[in-house]
Structure 1
Amino acid sequence: MEPRISFVTLAVRDLAATRTFYVDGLGWAPELDVPGEVVMIRAGTHLILSLWDETHFEAEVGAIGRGDGVPPFTLAHNVASREEVDSVLAEARTAGADVGAAVERDWGGYTGYFADRDGVRWEIAYNPGEIGQSVLPGPSAD
């Protein structure tokens, strides 16, 4: 098996509100939009963010575990500068996200987080290192 992720699927409580956040708020364009069921958005050349109504998700995948606290994963969106980190966090705040302040990291980067309507944490990161630069769009991107 190749080391590759093709889809990131998130089960959401209110698909219409989640669609509004990502499509109207952040300006992302759906490639597939089935009201009440799923919204799929291209998030990279070979990556789709799939937002599923949780009832449909549970019918196919199984019961969702619930608990207190933050979901035990983050999604990351890398950008080319510290200023872009602040700009994206401001855009997310305008879209209705719960946004934390960006901070300088010990490893030389600059990152901040926002949470979407279901509490999924997105890290917005400027990573000046080789691995951080390798995931930015452009000639070195896949």
Structure 2
Amino acid sequence: MSLSPGTVFTFVNPDFPDNPPHPKIAVAVSPDKRVVYVYTSTREKSVRAWCEKIEGKSGRGDLRTLVSAPITECPVLRQDSWINCNNADMKDEDVLRRRPAFCEYTGGKASMELVGRIRVGVLSSPKVPETIKKVIREQQWPPRAH
């Protein structure tokens, strides 16, 4: 499955294929070709479960379970509140309640153009913590999964 510029994906849970797909997940890739999922949720439990699934600790996060959708239909790129779930902030209960959250998947390749667009959006947002912007500027984004 190829990932072309401007592509956004909807996640379909392979364990519950009859459930409605999640509509708020965008995909991009870092310079080291790691794929990043941006998942929107206001529920801490939901964010934790998603991170665990993407990091392979539970469930089966898999590119084959993703369905393509136009990027204009994805609200993630229009959000201005960001947190990073794969760094130390994940231990902060208050931060976990914000949205959306970056999650990381270690398979496949996607468009460098799209990751650039997300990167610019994050750096230009006044609501992104400076600690996260610093990591992004130093080219350590996305951080590796724990």
Structure number with higher helix proportion: 2
Same fold judged by TM-score > 0.5? no
Q: Who wins on radius of gyration, i.e. which is larger?
A: 1
- Pick 1 or 2: higher relative contact order, CA cutoff 8 A, min separation 6: 2
Q: How high is the TM-score relative to the length of structure 1?
A: 0.29
Structure number with higher strand proportion: 1
